[in-house]
């Protein structure tokens, strides 16, 4: 399908070039940014576009300004840029296939960690999620409960970074694909898979938990 061509605003292009200068360390973290007049001359645009670009980068945490002193590259600018780019990728529906593939790589490892680290409370939460999925009737209820087991499993893995990354991936893929199906036979297969993964976690069998999660995600 042919889509209208969207022309980027000047400040967006300027923001991107400034970010590239920071990523390449041409502009070091903590260094002073050229004045608006200097930037307007460099980019050959009006000061208004420069001001918009600087404001945009300040809002995203890449730059900061001190009244009467000037504008500087934030000490954690590179991390901010990378985090912002990741958020953009996760929010782009065209990346759904890549997001699903990332889950297929991450979740089996989360299942293995869960087998190694899950407490009795964690196991009870996973069982509760399965019970809610069993009692769910209709597409809306299944969509609301079908993802709960995956989240409960992730919460038990013991790694805060992986938990946060998984939840970002899971939320995006769930919105893009839906949580599952209301067909009784298919729903039963999902629940059976959840129970088999939970059993492996209870047995503290990380290899089996990982393999069963891989099978489910296929």
Give the position of tokens 């297929």: 104
Q: Which residue has the tokens 């061509």?
A: 5
Sign of CA dihedral 172, 175, 177, 181: positive
DSSP 8-state secondary structure symbol assigned to residue 95: G
Q: Which domains does the chain possess?
A: 10-83 (1.10.10.10), 95-217 (1.20.120.530)
Please state the φ and ψ torsions of residue 72, each to the nearest 5 degrees: -130, 155
Summarize the confidence of residues 7-23 as an average pLDDT: 89
Widest CA span in the chain? 68
CA nearest to 39, candidates 80, 7, 71: 71
Write the pLDDT tens digit of every residue in 74-90: 999 999 999 999 988 98
Position 176 pLDDT exceeds 80? no
Q: What is the pLDDT of residue 3?
A: 44
pLDDT in tens, 34-65: 999 999 999 999 999 999 999 999 999 999 99
Lowest pLDDT segment from 87-91, 96-100, 134-138, 157-161: 134-138
Q: What 3-state DSSP class applies to 80?
A: helix
- How far apart are the C-alpha atoms of 163 and 117, rounded to whole Å? 13
Alpha carbon dihedral 5, 10, 14, 16, in 10-degree steps, equals -20
């Amino acid at each position: 399908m042919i889509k209208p061509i969207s022309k980027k605003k000047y400040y967006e292009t300027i923001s991107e070039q400034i970010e590239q200068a920071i990523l390449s360390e041409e502009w070091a973290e903590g260094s002073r940014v050229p004045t608006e007049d200097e930037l307007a001359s460099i980019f050959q645009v009006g000061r208004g576009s420069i001001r918009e670009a600087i404001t945009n980068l300040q809002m995203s945490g890449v730059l900061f300004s001190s009244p009467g002193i000037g504008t500087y590259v934030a000490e954690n600018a590179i991390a901010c840029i990378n985090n912002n780019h990741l958020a953009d990728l996760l929010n782009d529906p065209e990346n759904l296939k890549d997001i699903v593939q990332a889950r297929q790589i991450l979740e089996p490892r989360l299942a293995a960690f869960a087998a190694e680290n899950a407490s009795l409370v964690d196991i009870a939460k996973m069982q509760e999620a399965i019970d809610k999925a069993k009692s769910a009737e209709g597409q809306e209820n299944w969509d609301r409960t079908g993802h709960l087991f995956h989240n409960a499993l992730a919460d038990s893995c013991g790694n805060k970074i992986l938990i946060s990354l998984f939840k970002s991936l899971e939320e995006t893929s769930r919105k893009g694909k839906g949580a599952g199906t209301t067909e009784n036979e298919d729903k039963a297969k999902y629940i059976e898979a959840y129970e088999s993964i939970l059993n492996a976690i209870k047995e503290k069998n990380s290899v089996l938990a990982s393999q069963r999660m891989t099978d489910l995600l296929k």
